[in-house]
Amino acid sequence: MKVLVINAGSSSLKYQLIDMDNESVIAKGGCERIAIEGSFLKFKFNGEDVVIEQPMPTHSEAIKLVLDTLVDQKYGFIKSMDEIDAVGHRVLHAGEMFTGPVLGTEENIEKCLSIKELGPLHQVPNIAGVKACKEVMPNTPMVLVFDTTFHSTMPEKAYIFGIPYELYTEHKIRRYGFHGTSHRFVSGEAIKYLGLEGKNSKIITCHLGNGSSISAVKDGKCVDTSMSFTPLGGVPMGTRSGDLDASITEFIGRKLGMDATETLNYCNKKSGMLGVSGISSDFRDLRNAAEEGNHRAKLALDIFAYSVKKFIGSYSAALGGVDCLVFTAGIGENDGNIRKMVCEELEYLGIEIDEAKNAERNNGQIRDITKAGAKVKVLVIPTNEELVIARDTLKVAFGK
């Protein structure tokens, strides 16, 4: 069976067509600059980049172009659209309405739109992708897979903030958490790798990418996570500030003459590693600059590693110990320096890494970088959010 996975953003739409018989990727690519002049579709064909420039005023044109290209005589990967058995969509937010993936019925789509306020940048484009797909493939099952639902098992004490309770009951203000498909996938892989299925396990997963979050996972279920009401919370990230004393935002607004929305934008887009270093949000640039002696680049890296370390300490307290620490995503999988900085001085918890193993390059496989004899397993696990979405899609659409 073949599943098309769609990740629709405000001006982009990424896709992967996955053959679920062997879980291999048949085709992948993405449309960029949707609703902006100069839109194009880019994908790999026989190892070469192919770019097709075409106006895409809305997500509908983008989806149509993706599907036409998938069955194209020259660049096609399949003979007909009927070969696509189901479509899985990444959707940011389930609010408190769903605790797992659901069918993309009209009713569920409306429910998702009813909470668009909780994720204004993502929810509407995500659903626009679903609607556009339904239009072109009315008889193909659509499945919605959420970034938040893995975190729905958190206890109240982890998700209620110290503000009046009515703000939760009336306005749904609580911790939701994001990157759920990734935390679910890598914690599940760690449990399998360590033979802990059906046994008690305490795992801390560090998804460190452009956006970063850390989760505490007990017996396969999330009990706490660092991202919060929105993906702005937790550790400082590429361009996001992470957790801030709330009074700082009011103060910044006053000092820089910005309203609340502008201040929030500032915290989301101009802060984090970019803001501290003044150079870049990309860790490779920061490493190069730090090695050349740039103090602020080094400081940004130090702040990041220190913040991740503090979450590991706090989650080992929340879990009452830790059996396994997992690193994943762009930085977690590739940046041995950050992994080393995070793990330094965590020996007291039983976390120690083997420097030689840690320095090996990412090979797309699970890597055990634990120092011989250390109590806690430290694993590098490549994440695969698309595969999780495709698996969920088969389960929800066909019960497989």
Q: Rounded CA gap, 349 and 395, in Å?
A: 38
Q: Which residue is nearest to ligand ADP (CB)?
A: 330
Please count the residues of this chain forming the interface with ligand ADP, following the rule CB under 6 A. Answer: 12
Member of 330, 346, 382, 391 binding ligand ADP (CB under 6 A): 330
334 lies in the binding site for ligand ADP (CB under 6 A): yes
Q: What angle do CA 365, 88, 32 make, to 5 degrees?
A: 85
358 lies in the binding site for ligand ADP (CB under 6 A): no
Per annotation, catalytic residue among 147, 224, 335, 392: 147
284 lies in the binding site for ligand ADP (CB under 6 A): yes
Tokens 């109240």 identify what position?
A: 156
11 lies in the binding site for ligand ADP (CB under 6 A): no
Minimum CB–partner distance for residue 203 and ligand ADP (Å): 19
Member of 173, 331, 351, 381 binding ligand ADP (CB under 6 A): 331
Distances (CA, A) of 394 to 18, 84, 320, 363: 11, 12, 36, 28
Looking at residue 111, its amino acid is: K
Which residues partner with 212 through β-bridges?
A: 208
Tell me the window of 87-95, 150-158, 196-204, 282-290 that interacts with ligand ADP (CB under 6 A).
282-290
Q: Which C-beta is closer to ligand ADP: that of 224 or that of 386?
A: 386
Which positions from 202 through 221 interact with ligand ADP, judged by CB under 6 A? 209-211
Q: Which C-beta is closer to ligand ADP: that of 195 or that of 364?
A: 364
Q: State residue 228 phi and psi, 5-degree precision.
A: -130, -125
Q: Which C-beta is closer to ligand ADP: that of 140 or that of 362?
A: 362
Q: Rounded CA gap, 209 and 205, in Å?
A: 13
Tell me the window of 57-65, 299-307, 331-339, 387-395 that interacts with ligand ADP (CB under 6 A).
331-339
Are the beta carbons of 41 and 30 closer than 8 angstroms?
yes
Annotated catalytic, 147?
A: yes
3-state secondary structure of 214: strand
The two counts, helices (H) then strands (E), for the chain are 15, 14
| Stated length of the chain | 400
Q: Rounded CA gap, 119 and 237, in Å?
A: 18
101 lies in the binding site for ligand ADP (CB under 6 A): no
Q: Which C-beta is closer to ligand ADP: that of 160 or that of 341?
A: 341
Looking at residue 259, its amino acid is: D
Q: Which C-beta is closer to ligand ADP: that of 353 or that of 397?
A: 353
Q: Rounded CA gap, 44 and 12, in Å?
A: 17
Which positions from 25 through 64 interact with ligand ADP, judged by CB under 6 A? none
Q: Which C-beta is closer to ligand ADP: that of 205 or that of 334?
A: 334
Looking at residue 244, its amino acid is: L
Q: Which residues are catalytic?
A: 147
Site residues, ligand ADP (CB under 6 A): 209-211, 238, 282-284, 329-331, 334-335
